[in-house]
Chains A and B, each alone.
Chain A
Amino acid sequence: GENVEQHPSTLSVQEGDSAVIKCTYSDSASNYFPWYKQELGKGPQLIIDIRSNVGEKKDQRIAVTLNKTAKHFSLHITETQPEDSAVYFCAASKEGGTSYGKLTFGQGTILTVHP
């Protein structure tokens, strides 16, 4: 089955700096890669996703890049703010067929943004 590795496990930055979180996946058939943000006591919330027919996607201060050949994808947050502090998870899945909804998550990255 799919295996997703996520690094780093913790990341501490100063407000205004950029933060980068990286993930690798094992199944070359995976083609959908969402990123989730989880705040304390809450369930994960989708912040951005990318499909394998796209190399990069941006949404304001957040961007995701995908390298299908190397089987890795990254989350980039620019101009970080204290409210960005949370646990971030990457995930991978295969669209189509009966496995369309099955997400395999990485281990998570605790991001702390210091004012």
Chain B
Amino acid sequence: EAGVAQSPRYKIIEKRQSVAFWCNPISGHATLYWYQQILGQGPKLLIQFQNNGVVDDSQLPKDRFSAERLKGVDSTLKIQPAKLEDSAVYLCASSLTPSSGRAQEQFFGPGTRLTVL
């Protein structure tokens, strides 16, 4: 079974530029997550989708970050304009829909390492 795919794997940009990341979840996974992982820290949830609807975006800096999941499959995360503090690895994860209220295993992609200069 193919895993979660992400691209690009690496991106270097200047501050105030824009950048976009792409994620293709595991086939059949209705729930998709974007995490930000700053060096030396654990992943922090930015946004969670259930199919193409947003379940939780409480930690997404909405003045500069946006995300969409058209057709309930692939997703893109955009940063515009980027700041130095946005340098991090951006992880995409997917899972099956929780069953009877029980959490399902989240499968992570390899991430996109963003460097903002």
Stretch in contact with the other chain, from B13-21, B62-70, B76-84, B94-102: B94-102
- Residue from B45, B91, B103, B110 having most chain A Cβ neighbours under 10 A: B103
B93 to chain A, nearest CB (A): 7
A-B pairs with beta carbons under 8 A, tally: 69
Q: What CA separation (Å) do A99 and B84 show in the bound complex? A: 30
- Whether, in the assembled complex, B109 has its beta carbon less than 8 Å from a beta carbon of chain A, the answer is yes
Rounded to whole angstroms, the CA-CA distance of A97 and B98 in the bound complex is 10
CB contact under 8 A between A95 and B56, given known A101-B95, A101-B106: no
Q: How far is the CB of B114 from chain A (nearest CB, A)?
A: 15
* Residue in B93, B98, B102, B104 whose CB lies within 8 Å of A43: B93
Please, how many residues of chain B have a CB less than 8 angstroms from a CB on the other chain? 26
Evaluate whether A100 and B93 lie within 8 angstroms (CB atoms) in the complex, with A43-B108, A43-B110 already known: no
What chain A residues lie within 8 Å of B95 (beta carbons)?
101
Query: Is B42 within 8 A of A105, CB to CB?
Result: yes
B98 CB contacts on chain A under 8 angstroms: 95, 100-101
User: Number of A interface residues, CB 8 Å?
Assistant: 29
Complex CA gap A97/B100 in Å reads 10
Q: Given contacts A4-B42, A43-B93, A103-B43, list 19 more A-B pairs with CB under 8 A.
A: A32-B102, A34-B103, A36-B108, A41-B110, A42-B111, A43-B91, A43-B109, A44-B108, A45-B108, A89-B42, A93-B103, A95-B102, A99-B56, A100-B103, A102-B45, A103-B45, A107-B40, A107-B42, A108-B40
21 A-B residue pairs with Cβ-Cβ distance under 8 Å, sorted by A, are: A6-B42, A34-B103, A42-B110, A42-B111, A43-B93, A43-B110, A91-B42, A93-B103, A95-B98, A95-B102, A99-B56, A100-B102, A102-B56, A103-B45, A103-B106, A104-B45, A105-B44, A107-B40, A107-B42, A108-B40, A108-B42
Chain A residues in contact with chain B, CB under 8 A?
4, 6, 32, 34, 36, 41-46, 49, 89, 91, 93, 95-108
